[in-house]
C-alpha cells in the first residue's frame, strides 16, 4: 500500500521509514535536517516533501535478485509522487547498474542517482532536501538550470535572419526592415514593392527565396 | 491509418555536434558501427546530440560537475537548451583514466550533489555512463524510445542548394532547434508559407510545442522598431 499524497511533510523536515532508525544514513542526517520516523510508509524510504520521496536500493537488494524491481514498478503504478531512486553502486553491484538504469529512467521515467555508500546517500539527501525547501518556498529563481530571463528584444535577431537571404547584407537588411517592418510583411511584398527598396536583381532574388 | 510495415524500420537518426568528433570520437563510431544508427554531424550550436524532434542530450564529464568552476557555463548551456527543446537529458560520463595514470578516486563533493538536485528540480533527465561506449548505448536507447513515441527525426538531414540557404535562415531564429529548422524546411515550401501560417499549422509542421510555435509566430510578425535597430 502506497500512501500517495497522504503524507504531509512539515516544512524543512524529512519523514523516514521506521526501518531506517539507527542506520548510518539516519545518524548522518540527524542534526542536518529534522528527521521524523514513521511506521507504515509502505514502499517509500524517505519523504522529502509532499511531492517528492526517495526509494533506496541497497547493494544487497541488487545482488539478491528482482524483488526491488517489483517494488519500483508497484510504486510507479500506485503513486503520483515524484520518486527519486537512490541506488548503492559499489564494485559488487556495478554490473547490475546499467540494467537498473534502463528500467528506472527509460522505462519507468523516474530519477535514478547512484551513491557509493550510505554516507554519500545522506549527503545527497541533504542537498535534495534543500532544493525541495526552495521549491516549496517558490524561490525557483535560485535554480541555475531553469530558464527565467526575459527574452531580449527581437530586433537584432530579425536583422540577423534577413542577412541570411542571399545577396542581402547588413545595409539592405536595414533598408528592408525600415520599409516593411516585419518578416511577415516582407514575405508578402510584391517584387515591385521590393524594387523600390533594392535593385531589380536583388529584388528578384529576395522574391524567389 | 494503418502504417505500412517497414516504413518505420529505418534505423533512427541522431544529429551530433561537430565538436564531438574530437571529444567523443568513440561515442560516434560506436553509434555507427555497433548500433547501426544514422549519425549526422551538424554544426549544432547548443547541444551535443539531438536524438529526436524534441529531445536534446548533453554529454558531461563527471569531473565537470565536481567543482563550482564550470557552474555558470553549464547553466547558460542548459538554459539555452530549455528555450529550444521540450526535453533535455544529461549523460554524466565517468572520466577516462589515461594510460599511466592510476585510477583517480572519485571524491563526491557537495557541489556535485547540489548540481544533481538542481537538474532534477528543473525536470532534466540524468543518466550515468562509465565510458564512451556506454554513452553510445544510452543514446541508442533514447533514440529508440523517442522513435517508439513517434518523435523520431524523419526528415532528410542533408540540405543541398536552396535548402541550405533556407536552413541557414531558419537557424538564425532565436530558440529554434536544428531539428525544428530542418522540419520547417521540409514541411513548408517557402519562408512566405511559414510566415503566413497559423500557430497551429506551425506547431504541426515543425513539430513544435504550442509555446514554441507561438514564439516563432510572434518573431515572424514582430514589427521592428527602427529605434531599436542597431
User: What is the tens place of the pLDDT at every residue in A96-112?
Assistant: 999 999 999 999 999 99
What local confidence, expressed as pLDDT, does residue B132 receive? 94
Binned at pLDDT 50, 70 and 90, residue A87 comes out as very high
Chain-chain contact of A105 with B127 (C-beta, under 8 angstroms): yes
> Cα(B179)–Cα(B137) distance, rounded to whole angstroms?
22
What ipTM does this complex have? 0.84
What local confidence, expressed as pLDDT, does residue B61 receive? 92
What local confidence, expressed as pLDDT, does residue B112 receive? 93
The contacts of residue A138 (CB under 8 Å, 6+ apart) are none
Q: What is the mean pLDDT of chain A?
A: 85
The contacts of residue B37 (CB under 8 Å, 6+ apart) are B11, B12, B13, B14, B31, B139, B140, B143
Please tell me which of the candidates B79, B113, B222 has its beta carbon nearest to residue A147. Answer: B79
Domain with CATH 1.10.150.20 in chain A: 154-208
Task: Write the CATH number of the domain with boundaries A154-208.
Answer: 1.10.150.20
More confident residue, A145 or A17: A17
Q: What length does chain A have?
A: 209
What is the mean predicted confidence (pLDDT) over A78-103? 91
Question: Model confidence over A8-63: pLDDT tens digits?
Answer: 777 778 999 998 998 999 999 888 888 989 887 888 899 988 888 999 999 999 99
Q: Rounded to two decimals, what is the model's pTM?
A: 0.86
| pLDDT tens-digit profile, chain B (230 residues) | 444 444 444 678 899 999 999 889 999 999 998 888 889 898 887 789 999 888 999 999 998 898 888 888 888 888 888 888 889 999 999 988 776 666 666 788 899 999 999 999 889 999 999 999 999 999 999 999 998 888 888 777 776 777 788 888 998 888 888 888 888 888 888 888 898 899 999 999 888 888 889 999 999 988 877 776 66
CATH classification number, A13-137, choose in 2.120.10.10, 3.40.50.970, 3.40.50.10130, 3.30.470.20: 3.40.50.10130
Q: How far is B164 from chain A (nearest CA, A)?
A: 10
Q: Locate the chain A residue with the closest alpha carbon to B78.
A: A145
What local confidence, expressed as pLDDT, does residue B10 receive? 63
- Burial of B37 (C-beta count, 10 Å sphere; 0-12/13-18/19+): buried
Q: What length does chain B have?
A: 230
Chain-chain contact of A145 with B75 (C-beta, under 8 angstroms): yes
Q: How far is A17 from chain B (nearest CA, A)?
A: 22
In chain A, which residues have their Cβ closer than 8 Å to the Cβ of B218? Answer: 154
What local confidence, expressed as pLDDT, does residue A119 receive? 92
Per DSSP, the residues of B122-190 read: TT-EEEEESSHHHHHHHHHHHHHHHHHTT----S-----THHHHHHHHHHTSTT--HHHHHHHHHH-SS
In chain B, which residues have their Cβ closer than 8 Å to the Cβ of A136? Answer: none
Domain with CATH 3.40.50.10130 in chain A: 13-137
Probe site for chain A from B73, B79, B117, B165 (most A CB atoms < 10 A): B117
What local confidence, expressed as pLDDT, does residue A6 receive? 62
Chain-chain contact of B230 with A158 (C-beta, under 8 angstroms): no
How is residue B54 written as a grid cell? Answer: 524534441
What local confidence, expressed as pLDDT, does residue A5 receive? 55
pLDDT of A3 over the 80 cut: no
Amino acid at each position: 500500500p502506497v500512501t500517495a499524497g497522504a503524507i504531509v511533510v512539515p516544512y524543512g523536515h524529512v519523514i523516514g521509514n521506521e526501518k531506517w532508525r539507527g542506520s548510518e544514513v539516519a545518524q548522518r542526517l540527524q542534526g542536518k535536517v529534522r528527521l521524523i520516523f514513521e511506521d507504515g510508509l509502505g514502499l517509500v524510504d524517505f519523504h522529502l516533501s509532499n511531492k517528492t520521496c526517495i526509494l533506496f536500493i541497497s547493494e544487497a537488494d541488487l545482488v539478491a535478485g528482482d524483488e526491488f524491481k517489483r517494488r519500483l514498478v508497484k510504486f510507479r503504478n500506485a503513486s503520483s509522487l515524484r520518486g527519486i531512486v537512490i541506488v548503492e553502486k559499489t564494485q559488487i553491484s556495478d554490473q547490475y547498474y546499467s540494467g537498473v538504469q534502463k528500467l528506472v529512467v527509460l522505462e519507468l521515467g523516474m530519477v535514478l542517482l547512484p551513491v557509493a555508500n550510505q554516507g554519500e546517500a545522506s549527503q545527497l539527501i541533504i542537498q535534495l532536501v534543500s532544493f525541495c525547501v526552495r521549491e516549496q518556498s517558490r524561490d525557483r529563481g535560485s535554480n541555475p538550470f531553469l530558464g527565467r530571463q526575459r527574452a531580449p528584444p527581437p530586433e537584432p535577431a530579425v536583422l540577423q535572419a534577413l542577412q541570411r537571404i542571399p545577396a542581402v547584407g547588413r545595409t539592405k537588411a536595414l533598408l528592408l526592415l525600415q520599409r516593411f517592418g516585419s518578416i511577415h510583411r516582407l514575405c508578402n511584398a510584391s517584387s515591385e514593392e521590393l524594387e523600390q527598396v533594392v535593385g531589380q536583381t536583388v529584388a528578384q532574388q529576395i522574391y524567389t527565396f | 491509418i494503418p502504417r505500412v510495415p517497414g516504413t518505420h524500420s529505418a534505423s533512427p537518426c541522431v544529429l551530433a555536434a561537430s565538436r564531438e568528433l574530437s571529444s567523443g570520437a568513440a561515442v560516434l563510431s560506436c553509434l555507427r558501427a555497433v548500433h547501426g544508427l544514422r549519425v549526422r554531424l551538424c554544426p549544432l550550436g547548443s547541444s551535443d546530440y539531438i536524438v529526436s524532434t524534441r529531445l536534446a542530450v548533453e554529454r558531461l564529464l563527471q569531473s565537470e560537475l565536481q567543482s563550482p568552476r564550470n557552474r555558470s557555463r553549464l547553466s547558460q548551456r542548459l538554459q539555452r537548451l530549455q528555450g529550444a527543446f521540450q526535453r533535455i537529458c544529461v549523460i554524466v560520463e565517468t572520466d577516462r583514466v589515461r594510460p599511466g595514470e592510476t585510477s583517480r578516486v572519485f571524491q563526491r563533493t557537495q557541489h556535485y550533489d547540489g548540481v544533481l538536485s538542481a537538474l532534477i528540480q528543473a525536470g532534466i533527465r540524468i543518466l550515468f555512463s562509465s565510458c564512451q561506449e556506454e554513452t553510445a548505448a544510452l543514446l541508442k536507447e533514447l533514440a529508440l524510445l523517442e522513435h517508439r513515441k513517434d518523435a523520431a527525426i524523419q526528415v532528410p538531414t542533408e540540405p543541398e542548394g536552396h535548402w541550405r540557404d533556407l536552413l541557414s535562415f531558419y537557424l538564425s531564429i532565436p530558440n529554434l532547434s536544428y531539428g525544428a529548422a530542418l522540419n520547417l524546411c521540409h514541411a513548408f515550401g517557402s519562408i512566405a508559407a511559414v510566415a503566413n501560417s497559423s500557430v497551429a499549422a506551425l506547431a504541426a509542421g515543425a513539430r513544435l510545442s504550442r509555446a514554441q510555435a507561438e514564439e516563432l509566430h510572434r518573431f515572424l510578425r514582430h514589427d521592428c522598431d527602427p529605434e531599436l535597430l542597431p
